[in-house]
Chains A and B, each alone.
Chain A
Amino acid sequence: MLDWLAEQIILHWDILKYLIPAIPVTVLITVCSFSLAMILGLIIGVMRISRIKLISNFASIYINVIRGIPLLVQIFFIYFGLGKFLNLDRLAAGILAVGICYSAYLAEIFRSGIDAIARGQHEAAKALGMTRFQTLRYVIIPQSLRIVIPPIANEFIASLKDSSLVSIIGMREITRAGREYYSQYFVDFQTWMMVALIYLAMTLTLSKVVKYLERLYAVKGFGSRAT
């Protein structure tokens, strides 16, 4: 019994040692692709509410098309399809695919955050002579960002998990490393258990960070409606 336990501990430790170097790759893919998604998402979200039909239509088409295609297919398309012409390496293709995919979801979140701000805020800014861009930049978006922190955090955690899909084009992140370990030593249960635990540890840590951020951004008295 004790022997078995010792054996298991050594095995898990061995798997963990094998997987650890892949963790930074997962973090890199997630952070880079999500940063891209935030920037693109904010731009598309603002375009979505543009008064110029051409721009708002473009944004809705972008959102609907991207959301309607599985991320895995987008990864294939960007790496094998576009990659041929653009000479993208695995990392760039993976980051681009996850980033573009999540930008569509974030765009909708940003738009709903902007919509949630009371009309009086737009009117007050207008009455003070601000342009529409200034109104968004200084009055509306700073308030929206506080509203959208929780849903955006959800997307961030989801994108961390979805970064595992990039393993399919040979990026050696956590999932890929797990597969490699398995195909070398043929221990399935323990390998995938370890992979799962690493993801779980990362997502739970992130949830804690988000809770902290929410408290940090809850400015004094913010949240009351009539202001």
Chain B
Amino acid sequence: MIIKVKDLVCRFGDVQALDGISFEIEKGEVVVIIGPSGSGKSTLLRCLNAIDSFDSGKVIIGGTKVEKSHKNVHKIRLEVGMVFQQFNLFPHLTVIENIMLAQRIVRKRSAEISRRKGVELLGLVDLSDKIDAYPAQLSGGQKQRVAIARAMAMDPMIMLFDEVTSALDPEMVGEVLEVINKLVDQGKTMLIATHVIGFAREVADRVIFIENGRIIEEGPPEVIFDNPRQLRTKDFLSKVL
């Protein structure tokens, strides 16, 4: 088991962002989280790699319990790759430098090994020709593919995708989803928050529907999308489909 979450609660002031979430993810599984805006999808992902801290509950990643202590948090983040809606590439570094930086200073790999890994991943995301470009010279879809390569370069146990296509122009969504599809084929363990239902149906082993910080329904994509048991799931799907 890669991730185990139990009774996760996270508040921001008066707002109960997560209200007792529990689930597990097995190695090689692709889990998709759907739900309305503000339902807690992003917060959940951010708690899993300890960008946001949570108030109570348990998160165990690869056998390590997520705690606030500095050493432990550092170790967790190494094992959890995250891709953001806003790409967050480092604008002062070239594409290859973006991918090499954390390998060098966090994983302590040599320049040569980091570079080789970067070149290999740029091949995977089909951006070998942009190796020495700066982020500002790339389109949104290209930036997001670099961001995926950057996270993958750390060899994380699991990849988290936080609505990675929401900030993209429609014609660029496809190229990013294609890259995620390749990772699915590689058997990467992934947790994907998305609004693209068609894509979710295609890649998900399991779908989790979240609303108001709670899991409303969970199951295989055929069940959730075609025969949801909960009224609220039906409601949501009728709005987005």
B partners with A: yes
Give A contacts to B, CB under 8 Å.
Answer: 118, 120-121, 123-131, 134, 138-139, 142-143, 146, 219-224, 226-227
20 A-B interface contacts by CB (under 8 A)? A118-B88, A123-B84, A126-B77, A127-B49, A127-B51, A127-B81, A127-B82, A128-B154, A129-B74, A129-B107, A134-B105, A221-B135, A221-B137, A222-B91, A222-B134, A223-B136, A224-B91, A224-B136, A227-B90, A227-B136
Known A128-B151, A134-B105; judge A220-B134 contact (CB<8 A): yes
Contact A121 B101 (CB under 8 A): no
* Max chain B Cβ within 10 angstroms of own Cβ: one of A128, A138, A221, A223: A128
Which residue from chain A places its CB closest to the CB of B82 in the assembled complex?
A127
Nearest neighbor of A117 in chain B, beta-carbon distance:
B91
Q: In the complex the two chains form, is B136's CB within 8 Å of A221's CB?
A: yes
Min CB–CB distance A225 → chain B (angstroms)? 9
Q: Is B212 part of the contact surface with A, judged by Cβ < 8 Å?
A: no
CA distance A123 to B77 in the complex (A): 11
Q: A123 to B137, Cβ gap below 8 A?
A: no
Our pick among A120, A128, A220, A222 for the contact of B102 (Cβ within 8 Å) is: A128
Known: A221-B137, A227-B89, A227-B135. A129 touches B102 (CB 8 A): yes
- Which residues of chain A have C-beta atoms less than 8 A from B49's C-beta? 127
Q: How far is the CB of B101 from chain A (nearest CB, A)?
A: 6
Interface residue tally of chain B, by bracket? 20 to 34
Chain B nearest CB from A4 CB (Å) reads 59
Known: A139-B90, A146-B92, A227-B135. A129 touches B77 (CB 8 A): yes
Q: Is the CB of B137 within 8 A of A227?
A: no
Contact A227 to B87, CB < 8 A, known contacts A127-B77, A220-B134, A222-B92: yes
Residue in B closest to A220 when the chains form the complex, CB atoms: B134
Q: Which residues of A contact B224 (CB under 8 A)?
A: none
Query: How many whole Å from A177's CB to the nearest CB in chain B?
Result: 44
Instruction: Give every chain B residue within 8 A of A146 (Cβ-Cβ).
Output: 92
Known contacts A134-B105, A134-B106; decide if A227 and B91 are in contact (CB<8 Å): yes
Which chain B positions have C-beta within 8 A of A139?
90, 101
Q: Which of B118-154 contact A (CB under 8 A)?
A: 134-137, 140, 143, 147, 150-151, 154
Can you name the residue of chain B whose Cβ is closest to the Cβ of A134?
B105
Contact with A along B78-108 (1 / 0, CB 8 A): 1011101011111110000000011001110
Q: A226 contacts B87, CB within 8 Å?
A: yes
Report the Cα distance A143→B150, complex, angstroms.
19
Contact assessment for B136 and A130 in the assembled complex, using a CB-CB cutoff below 8 Å: no
Nearest CB in chain B to that of A146: its residue = B92
B21 at the interface (CB under 8 A from A): no
Q: Which residue of B lies closest to A223 (CB)?
A: B136
With A and B bound together, what is the CA distance between A157 and B88 in angstroms?
35
